[in-house]
């Protein structure tokens, strides 16, 4: 497993080999996502800091495994009926677990209101 670290903060961990982690964590779509996703009202990535990919620590692996165990069929995810077979193909794909709390939509507005 490999972890994405930004400015010394472990942001996400994924189960996959190093090449897969590098490809995913540095692809344009993922970089765009982490620029728009926030934690505590601050974007996960400022668009310029180094995206460091390193082997996951034992603690990060434990968080990853716990998160997948909690989400195992318990989440609100409903498969798209048009792509009913897609789940079978996705079993070999890598999973990503964020290690920081991601703000829900509207959370950053609440923070601005409190600071005003």
Strands (E), the chain: 2-6, 9-14, 38-39, 42-43, 51-55, 96-98
Measured at the CA of 3, the angle between CA 50 and CA 20, to 5 degrees, comes to 90
Domain ranges of the chain: 2-71+92-115
pTM greater than 0.85: no
Write out pLDDT tens, residues 55-85: 999 999 999 999 988 876 544 444 444 334 4
Rg (Cα) of the chain, in Å, rounded?
16
Q: What is the pLDDT of residues 28-52, one digit of tens each?
A: 999 999 999 999 999 999 999 999 9
């Amino acid at each position: 497993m490999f972890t994405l670290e930004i400015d010394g903060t472990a942001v996400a961990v994924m189960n996959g080999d190093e090449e897969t982690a590098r490809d995913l964590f540095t692809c344009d779509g993922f970089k765009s996502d982490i620029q728009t996703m926030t934690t505590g009202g601050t974007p996960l990535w400022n668009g310029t800091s180094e995206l460091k990919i390193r082997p996951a620590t034992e603690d990060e692996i434990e968080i990853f495994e716990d998160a997948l165990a909690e989400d195992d069929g318990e989440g609100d995810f409903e498969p798209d009926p048009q792509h009913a077979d897609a789940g079978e193909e996705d079993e070999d794909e890598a999973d990503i677990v964020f290690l920081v709390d991601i703000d829900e939509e509207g959370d950053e507005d609440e923070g601005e209101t409190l600071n005003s």
